Structure formats: C-alpha cells, structure tokens
Structure 1
Amino acid sequence: MLHLRVIAPADLRDPVLNVLRDEPGVAHVVVHTGAAIDPAGDEITADIAREAANDVVERLKSLDVQHFGAITLEPLDTVLSSAAHHAEDVADGDAADAVIWDELISRTREESRLNATFLMFLCIACLLAAVGVVTDSAVTVVGAMVVGPEFGPLAALAVALVQRKLSLARRAGAALLIGFPLAMIVTAIATLGFEALGWVQLSTVSELTQVDFIFQVGPFSLVVALLAGAAGMLSLVSSKSAALVGVFISVTTVPAAGFAVVAATVGDWAVAGNSVLQLAVNLVGITAAGVLVLAVYRRTRARRAVTGG
C-alpha cells in the first residue's frame, strides 16, 4: 500500500474526491478542510493499492492538482485494515508488476544528479578498481563494482528514452559523460603517483590472472550487461532494492574504466582499448535492457487498458 497526500484548493476538493471514490483500490479517504497554508487549500489523504496508484496519479494530474497544490506518495510497510486488504484484492493487476511512472522518474532523476557526492563515489570506485588491477585482486575489483554509482544515470537514461523526457536524458548524459572522464583523470593521476613511489611494478597488464576478465570483451559481455540491466530496472520498478547489489557485482563498468587507466599508464594500449570497449558495451547493454523492460511494462499496461483488465 501507498499513502497518498493531496493538497488542493477548495474548488478542486470534489473533483479530487471523485477520483478517489471511483477507484476501488483506494481506502481510508480523509479530508482536512482548509488545513493547508502554503499553498492554501485542503489536505486530502488516502491509502492506495500500489497497482492502482499510477492511474490515480494520472487522473489527479489531469485536474492540474500538481500546479495548484501538491501530490505526494510514500510507501506503507504495515497496514492493519480490512478495508485496505479489500482495496488490494479488488485493484486491477499485481503490486509487484505495477509501474508508477512519476515515482520512477523522480527516483532516477535524483540518482542521476551530477553533484559532488556522485563524483566522489565514482572517483573512489575507479580508484578501487585501479588498486584491484595493480594488485591483481578480484575482491578489490568487486568492491569497486558495488561502490560505483553509475547505474543511477543509466536507469534514468532508459526512463528518459521510454517516457521521452529530454531534460532527464540530458541530466543522465551529463552525469556519465562528465563523471567517467573526470574519475578516470583522477585515477590516472593517482596511478602515476603510485608508479612514481615505486608501489607499482607492472610493465604490462595483459599477464594478470585474477582480473583479466575485465578487458576480455566477448558475446557474453553484452549478454551479462543486458541481463544486469533488466534485473536492475525490475528492481527499481518493483522497489526490490536488494537485487541491485547483484547488478552492481555483475557488470564491469567502473572496473573497465579503472583498468583502461592503468593499462594506459604502462603503455599497454591494446588492453586499454579493450577495456574502453568493455565499458561501452556495458553502458549500452544496461541502457538497452532498461528500455526493453520499461517498454514491456508500458505495452502490458496499454493492453490492460484496452481489454479492461
């Protein structure tokens, strides 16, 4: 269940209530007349079955509630109510398969923001990957995979392509196109410093045995990227965040960037090129899989709307 709060001017009170009354997946409708101060109006709350939330939000938006007031949603972990259980039973569809597009756009927009936190995480992840390469440590490389924040912009790019949100696409593209080069430059400076201090004795990276999978590009590189991208988007849509950890460990995006930097500093340009290719394959594959998953959800919803469930 989700908790809906609507702030709306008094003249929209009845239209908003009509939207909530017409949806069988809604329970616990409460009206606080004149409770809102800024913006002025009524506060209307309700609990909604997740599978009904997208339709309710779309109908509220058609009333321009978001312009004159506000619409907020938050998940409810525990609801003890026969009315709520009935609302979930009669709502069309299944909660795990429900896509709330505004929620997804909001979440991916936040995760794709190019800010100091995003850049620091990406730099740290690339540095960890570089350390994993120079020490031939698969464990350290896996740590870099988990720390890397790049899935957020990739998911946002997929959502932007499906929903045709140009502003979101620009935001996600900026995070990737600025973030990765900057993180690789920082990693290159650090790696050259390690080499100057004598901590790195590598003359080539092609002889590494524990982390050589990073630059070995093949058909399964794309297969893994597609599967990871699909799993990641499914986890976002269904709010099952635990699956994202598996996605982070599966794909070699940040490790490929770190490997490319280390290979370049020792003059192993062939391996550096393969690492960059691995990075590109993973970025494209994850985005393409996210678009495909969202397109399937969108088509399924449209088919249900035509057939009436």
Structure 2
Amino acid sequence: MRYLEITVPEGKRRAVLDVLEDEGIDYVVSDETSGRGYTAVVRFPIPTQAVEPLLDRLRRAGIGDEASVVVLNAETVVSEQFTTLRERYSRGGQTGSRTSRQVLRTKADELTPPFAIYTVMLLISAVVATAGLLADSPAVVIGAMVIAPLLGPALAANVGIVTGDDRLKSTGFRYQVVGVTMVIVASIGLAMLARIAGLEPAGVDIVVATELEERVAPNLFSLAVALGAGIAGILSLTRGFSEAIVGVMIAAALIPPSAAVGITVAWGMSGAAIGAAVLVIVNLLSINLAALATLWIAGYRPQGLFEVSPTRTSTYTYAAIFGVGLLVLAAPLAGVTLLDFHTTELESATEAEVNAVLAESRYDGLEADEVEVELDGDYPIQSVERIVVTVSSSEPGPVPGLADRLYEEISPHSDAGVAVEVQYVVTQQRGGNGDQQVSIRSADGP
C-alpha cells in the first residue's frame, strides 16, 4: 500500500478531485497557503497497483510536472472504501506489489551512488579482485564482488530507456562504461607492480597458475550469469527482493573479467586479454539486454497518448543494438564451448583406448594413471596440442612400441597433427608398510 500527497497547482484543484472521486478514492484535502502557486494539498491511501494508472490519469487530466507528488509506504489502512478499491485493482490475480514506474525511477536513481563514492568503491574492488586473482584466492575475489556498486547503473540505464528518462539513461550507461574502464586500468597498474616485484611464477603460465583461465577463454555458459543477473536485478527493483545479493551477481559478471583484462595486459598476453575483454563486453550486453527485456515485458513504459510510440522505438533500438552485439561476440564463446565438448569427448575416448590397450597380455604390469588433453595456450580460442598418457610400472624405462600402439588407437579420435606422449611413472614398494614411492619418471612418444 502507498500513501500519496499531491500539492495541487492553482486552477487544477477541481480536475484532481474529479479524478479521485471517479476512482472511488477516499481523500483528505487541505488548503495550501504558502503563496507559491499552489491551491491545495490532497492526501490519500491507495493500493500499490493503482499508483501508476492513477498518476497517468492525473497527467492526462492536465496535472503535469508542476504538481508535487510524494509517495510513501503505508503499513495499514482501515477503511471499507479502501478495501473495495484494493479488490478492484486486484482483479485478474494481480495481487503482487508491482512498483509503479514513477517509484521505479526514484529507486533506480537512489541505487546509483554519487560519482566520487562510485569511483572510490570501484578502485577498491579492482585492487581486491586483482589481488585475489593473482593469489588464486576465490574468497578474495568474492570480496571484490561484494564491494562493487554496479547494480544501480545497470538498472538505471534500462529504467531510463523504457520510461523515457534521458538523464537516468545517460547516467546509467556512463557509469557502466567508466566503471569497467576504471577497473581495467587499475588492474593493469596493480598487475604491473606485482610483476615488477617478481610475483610472476618462473616458467609457469600465469593463466594456468591463477583463477584467470575461465575468464580468458569463456564459453557460452558464461552468458547464464550475466543474463540471470540482469533479470534478477530488475525483479529485485520491482518486487522488493534483496538488491545486495543481486548486486553481487552483477559484479560477478563484470569485476573478475575486467581485472583479468588488466592482468593479462600487464603480462603481455594479448590473446588472453582479448578473450577476457570479449567476456566483459558480452556480459555488459547480456545484463542490459536481460534487464531491458524484463522491464518491457513487465509493462514498464510511459502510458500517455504521445509517449508510447517514441519510447517503444527507443526500446526496440537499444534491444537491437544489445542483441546484435551479443550475437556477434558470442561466436568466439561458441568456439570455446565446442572445444570444451571436444576435449571432454577426446579425453573419455582416450581413457577407453588406453585401458583397452593395457589390458592386452603383453602389457601386464602396466596400469593407466592419468590421461590429460593439453591445449596450445593460444587464447582465447585454443586447440588440442597433445595428449599425455601417464602409465605406472614396476620396471624402469619406456616399453618398446607402446607409444606407437597408443597413437594408432587414439589418433582416429583426435585432429591431425595431435601428438601423443606416454609418461612412465616407475614405482617401488617400501618394505612392509605397502606404501609406494615414485622413483623414476620418463617420457616416450611415437
């Protein structure tokens, strides 16, 4: 329930009261004596679902922006007339507390912090996220998501689109672009300092050694987080769910990938940086597209006679931009997804072939320890470079012909030119306690 207070401009008192009486609203009217061009103050309770249609009707009656409208939450209303009004607006099962678009604008604006605070919080988030990724610490990365104030801008931009609020729209988009850019730049600076300080693992791929791998080679499943965040963000705004939890979800789609761009740029890994940057842009488009579609489907749009068509055109235009951009940039993600499927199938087929070969009598005493499909590290779209089969044996040295035999069986399942390497782990039995100790590791290839 809501409690409205309307300060009525001179000459509009009768028009306002006629609308309220026609709606069956029980109101209280007081004379306004400040001498500022107002004639009365009208106060009345109203069901939440009725706020938006009532304000639209008042606007059509000529009550424009010169009137002052205050919308408050009402805990309880004891009135037979109000009960009748609530039942009328609840027909058709519409019993939910759908927020009016006027209140929606205010809530979206309130969730967007002042730019100075926004900047400071994002810089802190960038530092924490970069440190968490370099330290390979999921807990620290999650902390960075909690800090980032990205919910407000994402929602404000799309609320501005569907309600025709150009100021809210431009503020939302500007905050999003500036925020992501700021995180990337800050991450580059911090990663450069980390590299100069000698934190780079010697001879180790920084992507493999940290939490970066899933961000520099994203697949189509990455879209689920961003799309879900956009939808959940709008629902939290319109239905009163927890904005804090949804804010973490939006930050999860943007902060770690943005920090990954900075780290890979600092490490001079252009391919990995491109992969992370594609993920950032795709997530931005996904969040905005999902939020825009959810708002439009929920019916948030101007209802005036002259407002619907221009706003519908603007919404369709932005939806087309988001959708086309998403389809174009999703192509690399589809390639990574196909590679993931291929790698999984190849690993499964290789394990089956290795077990079948080692089951032959001439290879008694050999056991398959591990099968690993290694990629070439050419981010963001990699390819299979080699297949490493680890075999345990009680005898030292490679088994003649085993590598060639495995290659013959595995090669039909793999692409041309993929190498098959067999590594031998020779084990020795310690006296009495049954423990095994790895003593020799050697490799063989076809």
Please show how residues 157-176 of structure 1 align to structure 2 within 5 Å: 157-176=157-176
Give the equivalent residue in structure 2 for 1:307.
none
SS in 1 for 2:104: helix
Give the equivalent residue in structure 1 for 2:262.
261
Deviates more, 1:159-168 or 1:228-237: 159-168
Deviations 1:66-98 (A, max 9, x none): 43331121223x215244444333324535362
CA distance in structure 1 between the aligned counterparts of 2:108 and 2:71, rounded to whole angstroms: 16
CA distance in structure 1 between the aligned counterparts of 2:33 and 2:206, rounded to whole angstroms: 66
- Identify if the C-alpha distance between structure 1 residues 39 and 106 changes in structure 2 by more than 3 Å, giving closer, same or farther: farther
Greater RCO (CA < 8 Å, at least 6 residues apart): 1
Give the equivalent residue in structure 2 for 1:306.
none
SS in 2 for 1:201: coil
Deviates more, 1:165-174 or 1:41-50: 165-174
Q: Given that residues 50 and 95 in structure 1 are in contact (C-alpha distance below 8 angstroms), is that contact kept between their aligned partners in structure 2?
A: no
Give the equivalent residue in structure 1 for 2:68.
70
Q: Given that residues 36 and 42 in structure 1 are in contact (C-alpha distance below 8 angstroms), is that contact kept between their aligned partners in structure 2?
A: no
The Cα of 1:230 is off from its aligned counterpart by: 0.9
The one-letter code sitting in structure 2 at the alignment partner of 1:21 is E
Q: Given that residues 99 and 297 in structure 1 are in contact (C-alpha distance below 8 angstroms), is that contact kept between their aligned partners in structure 2?
A: no
Deviations 1:2-45 (A, max 9, x none): 11110113422222122222225x44x22121255545332111
The one-letter code sitting in structure 2 at the alignment partner of 1:201 is E
Give the equivalent residue in structure 2 for 1:15.
15
Give the equivalent residue in structure 1 for 2:349.
none
Deviations 1:273-294 (A, max 9, x none): 2211111111111111111111
Give the equivalent residue in structure 1 for 2:340.
none
Find out whether 1:81 has 2:78 as its counterpart. Answer: yes
Give the equivalent residue in structure 1 for 2:54.
56
The Cα of 1:301 is off from its aligned counterpart by: 11
Q: Given that residues 35 and 43 in structure 1 are in contact (C-alpha distance below 8 angstroms), is that contact kept between their aligned partners in structure 2?
A: no
Q: Given that residues 158 and 290 in structure 1 are in contact (C-alpha distance below 8 angstroms), is that contact kept between their aligned partners in structure 2?
A: yes
Give the equivalent residue in structure 1 for 2:132.
132
CA distance in structure 1 between the aligned counterparts of 2:95 and 2:11, rounded to whole angstroms: 32
Deviations 1:226-265 (A, max 9, x none): 122111111111122x155145236420111111111211
Deviations 1:184-219 (A, max 9, x none): 223322333344445x33464311465643334111
- Give the TM-score normalised by the residue count of structure 2: 0.60
Find out whether 1:245 has 2:241 as its counterpart. Answer: no
SS in 2 for 1:5: strand
Larger radius of gyration, structure 1 or 2?
2
The one-letter code sitting in structure 2 at the alignment partner of 1:58 is D
Deviations 1:119-165 (A, max 9, x none): 12222222221111011111111222222222222212222333344
CA distance in structure 2 between the aligned counterparts of 1:116 and 1:247, rounded to whole angstroms: 19
CA distance in structure 2 between the aligned counterparts of 1:144 and 1:79, rounded to whole angstroms: 40
- Identify if the C-alpha distance between structure 1 residues 205 and 152 changes in structure 2 by more than 3 Å, giving closer, same or farther: farther
SS in 1 for 2:299: helix
The one-letter code sitting in structure 2 at the alignment partner of 1:32 is S
Deviates more, 1:117-126 or 1:127-136: 117-126
- Structure 1 segments unaligned to the other structure (5+ residues): 303-309
Deviations 1:90-110 (A, max 9, x none): 324535362411222233234
CA distance in structure 1 between the aligned counterparts of 2:37 and 2:184, rounded to whole angstroms: 46
Deviates more, 1:79-88 or 1:216-225: 79-88
Provide the aligned C-alpha RMSD in A: 2.8
How many residues align? The count is 297
Give the equivalent residue in structure 1 for 2:325.
none
Give the equivalent residue in structure 2 for 1:122.
122
Deviates more, 1:189-198 or 1:264-273: 189-198
Give the equivalent residue in structure 1 for 2:236.
235
CA distance in structure 1 between the aligned counterparts of 2:195 and 2:106, rounded to whole angstroms: 43
Give the equivalent residue in structure 1 for 2:200.
201
| Bigger helix share | 1
CA distance in structure 1 between the aligned counterparts of 2:208 and 2:22, rounded to whole angstroms: 67
- Structure 2 segments unaligned to the other structure (5+ residues): 304-446
Q: Given that residues 225 and 253 in structure 2 are in contact (C-alpha distance below 8 angstroms), is that contact kept between their aligned partners in structure 1?
A: no
Q: Given that residues 130 and 187 in structure 1 are in contact (C-alpha distance below 8 angstroms), is that contact kept between their aligned partners in structure 2?
A: yes
- Identify if the C-alpha distance between structure 1 residues 208 and 43 changes in structure 2 by more than 3 Å, giving closer, same or farther: farther
The one-letter code sitting in structure 2 at the alignment partner of 1:119 is T
Give the equivalent residue in structure 2 for 1:43.
41
The one-letter code sitting in structure 1 at the alignment partner of 2:45 is D
- Identify if the C-alpha distance between structure 1 residues 2 and 95 changes in structure 2 by more than 3 Å, giving closer, same or farther: farther
Q: Given that residues 153 and 172 in structure 2 are in contact (C-alpha distance below 8 angstroms), is that contact kept between their aligned partners in structure 1?
A: yes
- Identify if the C-alpha distance between structure 1 residues 64 and 118 changes in structure 2 by more than 3 Å, giving closer, same or farther: farther
